[in-house]
Amino acid sequence: MSDAVDLLIIGAGPAGMAAALAAAPSGARIALLDDNPLPGGQIWRDGPHAELPPKAREMRARLDACANVRRHAGCKVIALAGPKRLLLEDAERGWLLAYDKLILCTGARELLLPFPGWTLPGVTGAGGLQALIKGGLPVDGERLVIAGSGPLLLASAATAKARGARLGRIAEQASLGAVGRFASALWAWPNKAWQALELFDATYRTGSHVLAALGSERLEGVRLQVGKRVEEIACERLACGFGLVPNTQIGEALGCALSDGAIRVDAWQASSLADHYAAGECTGFGGSELALAEGAIAGHAAVGMLAEARALWPQRQRWQGFADHLNRAFALDPALRRLAQPDTLVCRCEDVPLSAIGGRRGWTEAKLSSRCGMGACQGRVCGSAAQFLFGWQPPAPRPPFSPARISTLAKLADAAESQAPDLSSARTPG
């Protein structure tokens, strides 16, 4: 047996929360899943050192007041279990959930690119460091360098400084001209201009990127390319993030078409698969404001409130303009493809160096020769890196999508049995 809902929303970040709140007035039975303890996603992540914005607290309170929205925290999608049915697992149980409509709000993850020393203790992603600090990681007094691309560098730096870290450098790979053009156009989005002013730090340098993390047992410093010169800065922590990659695995497994690496949607946020919608950064990176607009449109559309959805199109268009401007300004320099050396690990899970996969024609050949992408992350880290380095299409998702208990996986047999035709009453010839 399985539970059933009218609308299933996967992901409780800004897009998922907005979708649930938009659909709730219809009275539909709604389930909102997320693998975090509380709604908010990565941008509104909770923790001992987190400071949630008023918008996040207000949306949480509104969700709590919706009697027809069931929240499943710490919950993961493990596998497909037939048409419009998924196998789920949380800390207590594994179960099957059937749905009529589905909205994917699965967000994005950091793009991590390999460079010498990137596996040293003390090296993390920029967003990863921010999440760790919000969760209670002590950084007071530690020397920190942040490198990569995009506004996340500034946000991560601000979080670390607020907890006492000593910031040595923010190294932005985009050129001064690109960043200048981006900043000069922010008048069209005044709140973004104000955020940029609040987050700016005197250590920020454009046209600068990491060359290597230095140290033997753990991180001791970082080597940076700054324009035409090379600098070395002593530090205990290095956070590198080169943008975001849409989380499309579940959408791909369901059969949703992609466009430019993100789930393709139409004006109603509908995917190529009937009754399946998508919103937020799984459809392309654009920030929380765009995610909120897309989520609300998807929620309204999924329950047939098309006039309400259409009314939000101008809001979405405004924030899509910001997203397009942002993505053009912080496009990655092709020179970053040359950071990894022959002995640099590309697949950290299986200890596969660049020399073992360079020259291969794709994922299948790389796996056959080196086990690249076959470790615990199932290609989520090295797959995105290899796509940037070699142009390989990331590996297709295969269940289970996350580690699961045997008892949970056994429920797939129950699903198969329930879908088998009942032949007990069939009449035999003669």
Burial of 68 (0-12, 13-18, 19+ CB in 10 A): middle
CA dihedral defined by 154, 155, 161, 163, rounded to 10 degrees? -170
Four-residue CA torsion sign, 407, 410, 414, 415: positive
pLDDT at res. 1: 43
Determine the 3-state secondary structure of 338 from DSSP.
Answer: helix
- Largest CA-CA distance found in the chain, in angstroms, rounded: 90
pLDDT at res. 305: 98
Domain boundaries of the chain, sorted by first residue: 3-109+245-326, 112-242, 340-390
DSSP readout, 58-107? HHHHHHHT-TTEEEETT-EEEEE-STTEEEEE-SS-EEEEEEEEEEE---
User: CA dist 333 to 58, 173, 280, Å?
Assistant: 40, 7, 25
User: CA dist 64 to 60, 67, 96, 240, Å?
Assistant: 6, 8, 24, 36
Q: Could you check whether 3-109+245-326 and 112-242 share the same CATH topology?
A: yes
pLDDT at res. 117: 96
pTM score, two decimals? 0.92
Tokens matching residue 286: 């654009």
Q: HSE-up of 27 (CA within 13 Å, CB side)?
A: 0
What one-character DSSP code corresponds to residue 163? Answer: T
What one-character DSSP code corresponds to residue 270? Answer: B
Beta bridge partners of 166: 143
Nearest to 43 by CA among 72, 274, 51: 51
User: CA dist 309 to 274, 313, 430, Å?
Assistant: 18, 7, 59
Q: HSE-up of 377 (CA within 13 Å, CB side)?
A: 18
| Class of domain 3-109+245-326 as given by CATH | alpha beta
Tokens matching residue 300: 């309204």
CATH code of 112-242, in short, is 3.50.50.60
pLDDT at res. 358: 84
pLDDT at res. 26: 97
Other CB atoms closer than 10 Å to residue 125's CB: what's the count?
21
Chunk the chain into consecutive blocks of 10 residues (it has 430) and report each block's average pLDDT, rounded to whole numbers.
88 97 98 91 75 89 96 96 96 96 96 96 95 92 97 94 96 96 93 90 96 96 96 97 94 96 97 98 94 98 98 97 95 95 94 91 87 84 91 82 93 75 51
Tokens matching residue 80: 């497909």
